[in-house]
Structure 1
Amino acid sequence: MDDDGYFGESVAARYDESSAAEFEPGVVDPAVAVLAGLAGAGRALELGVGTGRLALPLARRGVPVHGVELSRAMVARLRAKPGGAEIGVTIGDFSTTRVDGTFSVAYLVFNTIMNLTTQAAQVDCFRTVAAHLEPGGCFVVEVLVPELRRLPPGQNVVPFHVSPTGWAFDVYDVATQATNSNYVEVVDGRGEYRSIPFRYVWPSELDLMAQLAGLRPRERWEDWTGRPFTSESRGHVSIWEKPLT
C-alpha cells in the first residue's frame, strides 16, 4: 500500500471504467437530487470524493462542494474533468480530517464507510462529521447490508464475479466484522492480484455511532429513490441530523 492507500495510480487510472454502472444517470441523478435537497442554500462535504462521480453533478446544480480524499491519484482524475478544478479538496483520512467552515450536508457513499477498517475509525468519522455540520445539518451514508445470509456454516468466502479472465470474491471474518475484497485478473496470459480490506457495519451499529456523535436518525431507505428499507434490502441510504440546539 502506498501513500494513496489502496486507491493508487493503477486503480485510479481505471476506476471510472471499472465502476461504470455507478456513473449511470439512473444511479447518479436520484442521489444528487437527495443531496441537493438536503444542502439547500448551504455547502456539501463529500468524504472520499474520489474522481467526482457525485461532487461534479452536485456542483453543477449550484451546491458548493468540498471533498476529503486520501488518494492524490483519484483527485488528479477529478481535476482533469470539466469543473473539477472548482471542487475544493483536502487530502487526508476522512475519519479525522478537519476542513474550514461548516456544512448543511455531509455524505459518504458507495460503501466507503467500510474503507475504515476498525469500529473506532468509523466512530471517529461520525464525530468528525458532526463537528462540521451546521445545526439541522445532515449526514448521509450509503452502504450495503452485510451479506452473511449467503454464508453456509463453515464457509467464509463469497464470490461476486467470475469470468474467463477474472475472479472476485469477498472473505469474511464474522468474529471481527473484518472482510476483504480480492480480485484476480488475467491479461495476456499474466495474472494480477489485489486485495482491499474493509469492515462491514450493521444499520443498528451505525445508529449507535450517530448517537455517540450527537446525531439523531431522520430517514432510512433501501435506495436513493426512497423505497422502504426492509429485512430483504441489500443496501440502505441512511440520514442522521444534528439537532438545532
Structure 2
Amino acid sequence: MDNEQSAQMQVDPSTKPMSAIEAFKMDPSTEWVIESAPGFVAIKHKTGCTICDASASHCIAKRRAVAEAWPELVRYQDNYYRLLEDYNVLKESAKSAEAQAEEHRAKTAQLYDQLDSHRVTIQNLSDQVQSLEKELQETKDNSAELSHNDDLILENKRLKKELEYYFGRARYALHGKDAAWAEKNEYRLSDITASDGEDDEEDPTGLPTISEEIPQYIPTVPPNHRARTMSKPIWNNYKVV
C-alpha cells in the first residue's frame, strides 16, 4: 500500500511552488502532498489517490499534517534564503578582498622594485662619495706640498732680488762711480757681468733701488761670498775703470 502511494505521489515539474501554496491556503479541502528539499518547499496536488477514494480520513490527515508543518517549513525556507543571501554577500566580499589582496601584492612588488633601484642608487652615491673623499685627501696632500714649494719660490725670488741688488752695487762701484770702494775690497771689472742695457732702475743719486721685500739696508761691507779675488801682485796688472 505504501509503495502504491509513493508511486502515485509524483511531483509535477510544471507546477509552480508559489501558486500551489496559495491554492492550498485558499482551498484546504483539496488533496495535497508536501515535498521538500534543502532550500525548496513545494505543496503539490495529489491526484488519483486510491486511499483518498476509499477513505476520506487519509486526505484529512494529510491536510492536517501539512497545516501543522507549514509554519516550520516557511521558517526553514526563509532561513535558507537568508543564509543564501548572506553567502552571496560573503562570496562577493571574498572576491573583493581577493582583488584588493592582488592589488596590494602588485603594489608590494612595485615597492620592492623601487627599493632595489634605490639600493643601487645609494651604492653608486656611496662609491662617488668615497671617490670624492679620496680626491679631496689627495688635493690636501698636494696643497701641502705646493705650499712648501711656494715658500721656496718666494725665498728664491727674495734671494734673487737681493742678489740683483748687490750686483747693482758692484756695477755701480766698478763703473767708476766708486772706484775707491771697489779697489779697497779687491773687486775687478771682469768679475761683473757686462750691462745689457736693462740695468736696475737707479734713484736720483745714482744708486740702484731695492725692492720693499728686502730690508733697506745698504751694507758697507760686501757679502761673505765675494767675486774672485786676486793677490796684490796680480791686481796691479789690471786697471779699474
Give the shorter-chain TM-score range: under 0.3
Say which structure is richer in helix.
2
Q: What's the TM-score, normalizing by structure 2? A: 0.16
Larger radius of gyration, structure 1 or 2?
Answer: 2
Q: What's the TM-score, normalizing by structure 1? A: 0.16
Say which structure is richer in strand.
1
